[in-house]
Structures are given as C-alpha cells and as structure tokens.
Chain A
Amino acid sequence: MLGINDPQIWLAYLLSVLSALGCVIYGLMHWNDKDPLEES
C-alpha cells in the first residue's frame, strides 16, 4: 500500500492520518458542548 510493503509501516502511516482526521471530527462534534460543572 502507498508504495510501502511492510504492513507495520503503512499501518502507522494510515493511523496517523486517520487520528488527525478523528481530532477534527471530535472537535466539530463537541464544539458547542456545555459542561454543567463549568463556569461559562
């Protein structure tokens, strides 16, 4: 995959990209969260 034969490497490459995207999605989903314990 992606010109890399060793699955231990392309998996790391793929997981890095996916986790960065995951962070964006998480941030958007919780953008307007209200925490009842917090001061606003």
Chain B
Amino acid sequence: MASSIVLGIAVLIYLMITFYLGWMGYKQTKSTDDFMVAGRKVNPFVLALSYGAAFISTSAIIGFGGYAGAFGMGILWLVFMNIFVGIFIAFVVFGSRTRRMGVNLKAVTFPELIGKRFQSRFIQGFSGLLIAVFMPLYASSVLIGGARFMETALGIDYNTAVLLLTIITAAYVITGGLIAVMYTDAMQGTLMFVGMTILMVYTYVNLGGVTSAHLALTNLASMVPEAMAQQGHTGWTSMPAFGSPIWWTLVSTIILGVGIGVLAQPQLAVRFMTVKNTTSLKRAVLSGGPFIFMMVGVAYVVGALSNVYFINTRGMLSMDVAGGNIDKIMPEYINSAMPDIFVVFFMLTLLAAAMSTLSSLFHNMGTAIGHDLYRESIMRGKIGHTISITKLGIAITIVISVILAYTLPIGIIARATAIFFGLTAAAFLPMYAGAIFWKRMTKEGAIASLLVGTFSSLFWLTFVHAKEATALGISQAIFGQATLLTGTWTLVDPILVATPLSVFVAITVSLLTKPASEEHIKKCFGN
C-alpha cells in the first residue's frame, strides 16, 4: 500500500493542475464553437496527446493489459493496429478530409458533419441518439477501470471511487467544454507517458532484460491451466490455436473490432476538426505514434510478463493472483512489483488515463444530446437552450454511466469497450468513409448503411454472439434457446458480419438513388 501522505499530496497537486487547466478552458470558452470544437485552433502537440489520452483509457491499460496477462501476447497485433490504423490512417487519410469538410460545412460535432454532408437531419439525430444510448456503456467500463485501481491502490471503497472520479471529471467538462477537455488531456497524456515508461523499464530490468524476460514467459507455456488450453490457449508468447474460441475473441472482437472501430469513434473524429490546418495533423502523427506505443504496447507486454513475476515470487499465475478477475491483474502487479513511490505515480497515471477518456466521452455524449438531438433534430436548427441542454445531457449520461458501473458484472472492461467499438464501426464507419471519400454516396445510401449497420450489429449481439446473447438472455426468453445459430457462428464478432453488410448496403443503395446536386458536393469538398 502506498504511503497515504505522499499519495494525498500528489493527488492534490494533480487535481490543482487539472482544475487550473479546466478554469483556463472556462475563461477561453466564449462561443458555441469554443465549447464544441475548441475554437478550431488547437496546437498539434496538444491534439496528438489529447487524441491519444482520450483514445487510451483505463480500459486499454487495466482491461486489455489484464487480458494479456490471462491470454498472452497475441494482443500485440492490436498495438500495431492502434498505431497504424488508429494514428497514421486516422490522421493522415481521414483527419485531413474530416477537418476540411468540417470547416466547409461549419460542423461542430461528428453527427453534424455526416448529417450536413448528406443533408439529413435524421442522420444527425439518429447518430446522436446512438451515441447517447451506447456511449455510457464504454464510459462505465472506463469508470470501472479507474475505480478498481483506486480500490486496490488506495484502499478506497469501490463505490466511493466511482463517485469521486465522476464528480471531478464532470466539473471541468461541464464548465470548460472541449478546450478544458483537450488541455487537461494533454497534461494527463504527459503523465501517462512518463508513468508507462517507468513501468516498462522497471519490469524488463526486474526480469533480467528483454530477451530473458520473454524467454521466461515462453517457458511458462506448460503451465496453461487445462480448462484454458481446451479453449485454445497455447502459452503467453504464442497465438491461440487457430479457430478456437480464444482465437476468435482475440482476432475478431479485440484486434479487428477495436483496431478498426477506432476510426469511427465520434469523440476522436471530432478532434480533427479542432486544428487549423492539415500540417497540424501531419505534425501530430510524430508524437501520436510513439505515445500509443508506450501506452498499449507497454500495458500488454507488462500484462503478459506479470505471469513471470508472480510465478517467481508466489509460484502462481497472474490469473490466480487476481482471483480469476482479469481486471485485477494489472493493479495487483503494479502494487506488488513496483516500489511504493511508483505506485503513487501510477495511481496518478491511471487516474489521468481514466479522466482523459471520461472527459471526452462525457463531452461527446453531451453534444450528441444538446446539439445533434435537441438543436438540429428537435429545434430544427434554432439555437434555443443548446448549451444548457448539452450540459444537462452531460449530467444525465454521467448518471447512467455511474449506474452501469455499479451494475455491470465483474471482468467486463475489455468486453464492454469492444462492444462499443464494434457497434460504432458497423454503424458509422461505412457512412463516414463514404461521406469524406466518395462523392457519389447518397443520403439514402448513408441512411441505409447507418440503420443496417446498427441493427444487424445489435441483432448479432442479442441473438447470435454467444458471450453477449447468453448474458442478455433475450434470445432464451423469446426463442427458448441461448443463441439462434450454433457452432463457430456464435464466436464470430458482430463487427465481422455487420460492417461488411453495412458497406454493401451503402454502395448498392447509393448507386440506385439520385446523387446529390453538384453544387452541394462542391460545397462539401471545396474546390
């Protein structure tokens, strides 16, 4: 347990800086544009760190790090996807087009960008609704991650930790808007970078260097518990058996679902609209790539290597030390392996990771309700009480996230994150990619793709994909069987079914319907 006085002082200093940056955001927020897109003049370094810090949450570090502790290093493919797709493709290919179209159409949110591109209030309203309904699931999993660490490191009651985390974050998001969110993100990102660097160096040095640490982990393969070996677990430095349940979850839900889903994350895409030119986006790649590597790369490698540490010190695998709850592997490791003073620092690192993601999710859920649903769909564009409704929206979605954090089952972090990423990939990605790259895509094509992506993804979750379908029990209640299909189908993630369907519908319906006027396309894409 960390010394409580040092920790108390460190947390206090951290909170003072957070509130100072939040207050700066509040002072600088004078218009709706400031609250929604930070006035479109954010510095590239702040963009990269803020994007990275919002992207990487306690879900990635605690949830997926714990997953690596249980199932091994196969999840390193997600690191590669996160850097190549999540940073390079996102910034260079999607970012520059998104930014330009955002300026051309004067859009301030992700749903608004798509809605205006396709001249459809329905798209904007429905996308806003989807965010408002499903983003709390992701937000609650981030909350759980942060609160679990506070519980283990500080000895605070879990329920109190959830409330503390929420109230502090909500305070600066509601008052300071996106400027406060991005500047606190950048500060939190810096803290995360330092914390993860220490974690990596310390772990490798402690285990005798890179190669010998990996070698020791490779040699643990014979200790894989029988039950897990039957599910396809082959060791911590080898891929699970091809086609096994663990393989399907790793490849379809985690690597593809999260790896590709990131492109269509509304809270991340909106950040492209905050910088003043394309060069800023290219410059942001420089710090973005290494930042993501140091976050997820380190979390997954260390998560897997925690097995070596626990076998050496206690003769137990990480999963057993954590009492079977994978969300507790990383906190247990950090608490036992790292010196007290670093535990304090990690406490802050993870607090920062949780708060930076939470703040952007809260902000995004709020703008989805206030701007996309209320102003554009209900008030037909009249400003009305947009900012107040946005703030109220933030408050309501926060309450829902907190309730979910209290009620979701244990060990849920990685899964809830993957569900949200998978749903946004199917619902938003084909429509978003079409909006910025394919001039021929029509309003009808976009609506069809949005609806088919959303509902086929939800259908698959509820009736076919065994992990969720069994837990929800809806299929059991209606049809008397846990899943409608059997065999390998029940292992295939919704993203692999719903996204291709959504792409197919987007293309077919667009080609069958009348294209938008040339004048409108010119306005969207510029000359």
Contact = CB atoms under 8 A, between A and B. Distances in A.
Interface of A: 2-6, 8-9, 12-13, 15-17, 19-24, 26-28, 30-35, 37-40
B293 A20 contact: yes
Given A16-B76, A24-B289, A27-B287, A38 B279 contact: yes
A23 B278 contact: no
Interface stretch (B8-16, B82-90, B435-443): B82-90
Given A3-B218, A4-B73, A27-B286, A20 B279 contact: no
Contacts of B239: 6, 8-9
B80 A2 contact: no
**Which of A23, A27, A35 has the most CB atoms of chain B within a 10 A radius of its CB?**
A23
Nearest to B48: A27
A23 B79 contact: no
A26 B237 contact: no
Nearest to B296: A16
A12 B277 contact: no
A17 B165 CA distance: 33
A9 B76 CA distance: 7
B466 to A, nearest CB: 25
B215 interface: yes
Contact of A5 (B79, B210, B218, B297): B218
Nearest to B279: A33
B188 to A, nearest CB: 20
B238 interface: yes
A3 B210 contact: yes
B238 A16 contact: no
B276 A12 contact: no
B279 A34 contact: yes
A4 B92 CA distance: 33
A19 B276 contact: no
Contacts, number: 118
Contacts of B77: 12
B170 interface: no
A39 B512 CA distance: 37
B87 A38 contact: no
Contact of B213 (A3, A22, A24, A27): A3
B83 A23 contact: yes
A31 B278 CA distance: 11
Contacts of A20: 83, 289-290, 292-293, 297
28 contacts: A3-B212, A3-B213, A3-B217, A3-B237, A4-B218, A5-B218, A5-B237, A6-B238, A9-B72, A12-B73, A12-B76, A12-B77, A12-B79, A13-B76, A16-B76, A16-B297, A19-B83, A20-B83, A20-B297, A23-B289, A24-B289, A26-B286, A27-B284, A27-B286, A30-B279, A30-B282, A30-B285, A31-B283
B214 A24 contact: no
Given A24-B286, A26-B282, A27-B287, A4 B83 contact: no
B74 interface: yes
A31 B286 CA distance: 9
B517 interface: no
B526 interface: yes
Contact of B210 (A2, A19, A30): A2
B371 interface: no
Interface string B318-342: 0000000000000000000000000
Contact of A22 (B217, B277, B287, B289): B289
A3 B235 CA distance: 13
A31 B44 CA distance: 11
B288 interface: yes
B80 A12 contact: yes
Given A8-B239, A9-B239, A16-B79, A23 B279 contact: no
Given A9-B73, A33-B279, 15 more contacts: A3-B216, A6-B237, A12-B80, A13-B76, A16-B297, A19-B88, A22-B88, A22-B289, A23-B290, A24-B289, A26-B88, A26-B92, A27-B289, A30-B282, A31-B286
A14 B411 CA distance: 30
Given A3-B218, A16-B80, A28-B286, A8 B88 contact: no
A32 B290 CA distance: 20
B214 A2 contact: yes
B211 interface: yes
Interface in B213-230: 213-218
A40 B285 CA distance: 19
